Amino acid sequence: MKMEFSAAQVATMLGGKVEGDPDVRVWNVARIEDGAPGMLSFLSNMKYAHYIYDTKSSVVLVNDDFAPTAPVKATMIRVPDAYESFAQLLAVYQEYTNNKVGVSQLAFVSDDAEYGENCYIGEFAFIGNRVRLGKNVKIYPQAYIGDDAVVGDNTVVYAGVKIYAMTHIGKNCIVHSGAVLGADGFGFVPQPDGTYKKIPQIGNVLIGDNVEIGANTTIDRSTMDSTKIHDGVKLDNLIQIAHNVELGENTVIAAQSGVAGSAHLGKNCVVAGQVGISGHLHIADRTTFGAQTGVMGGVNEPGKMLMGSPAYDYKTYLRDTVRQRNIPKLEKRIAELEKKLETLLSK
């Protein structure tokens, strides 16, 4: 599917001002250094400013305050924030290309399932009993939606996603391929003979509005009550969220991180890659964890930046890292001082 716009039309969409040919047309996007005729690029980082004078792109978005030092062949569109405007255009393009509607004859939809207008249900998707899908929901091929699940308006569920029974997903969410929502939590009781008896997991998963869940991320159902992912949370690929966890609004977690059972993270927390958070902890709002942090205790004061394992103050961690790198030098100096001391004592 091909979208084609003139520079004037792009400027109108973004509230920008055209400098150059308003009728030049673009139909795809490219990095400014890789531009070609018909491409639209952007310049926001002045580190790349030299590319604008030679780029082959037809149109380049620039910030209002950009002052070229040589002639620019491409048509420029001045906007308050070129990066944000470029992201806005990508969103329009994605909405256009993903605007699928209709139910495939190869999909299975239970007789008592409900779906709103403009829905798309792709080939070999499975929609269970009493499922409710809102308006403009997109269910891509081979996705599984279990009994009594709810998916809110404008939510996209990509191919191969597994949504277990009773999972509730809000509006304007994105669930990427391979994600599993609502699998059993890891709950077992040790037995006298050394075996483990499974604890039934009878709760569910509640996902708020405007949540994005990355590919192959897993969110377990609670033992009782709900595992809760609040509005605006963004989860990267390959993340494990255990049973009874609660993630506060607008918290973001990067890839390969894990949150153990019954941990509660506050609002606007930032969790970098490969972070491990122990269970039953309370993490205050606006806490930031650096990459590979091991979180073994709760955080009561909002706005803390922590790193290391076990986690402690970020700035102190950086100073300690410098000290550790100097240990070989210190060892050498100590050895030299010991030799000098032995020489003095021998005299």
Which residue bears the tokens 């255990």? 242
Contacts of residue 254, Cβ cutoff 8 Å, sequence gap at least 6: 236, 271, 272, 273, 275, 291
CA dihedral 33, 38, 42, 48 (to 10 degrees): 20
Residues listed for the chain = 347
Query: Could you give the CA distance from residue 319 to residue 108 in angstroms, rounded to a whole number?
Result: 59
Query: Could you give the CA distance from residue 240 to residue 255 in angstroms, rounded to a whole number?
Result: 9
Query: Could you give the CA distance from residue 300 to residue 150 in angstroms, rounded to a whole number?
Result: 34
Contacts of residue 139, Cβ cutoff 8 Å, sequence gap at least 6: 107, 119, 120, 121, 122, 125, 127, 133, 145, 151, 157
Cα 218–Cα 222–Cα 228 angle in degrees, nearest 5: 70
Query: Could you give the CA distance from residue 262 to residue 168 in angstroms, rounded to a whole number?
Result: 19
- Residue by residue, DSSP assigns 103-144 as E-TTSEE-TT-EE-TT-EE-TT-EE-TT-EE-TT-EE-TT-E
C-alpha closest to that of 181 among 201, 211, 161: 161
Q: Is the Cβ–Cβ distance between 100 and 116 less than 8 Å?
A: no
Annotation marks residue 243 as catalytic? yes
3 state SS of 217: coil
Choosing from 168, 176, 230, 243, the catalytic residue is 243
The one-letter amino acid code at 317 reads: Y
Radius of gyration of the CA atoms of the chain, in A: 27
Active site residues: 243
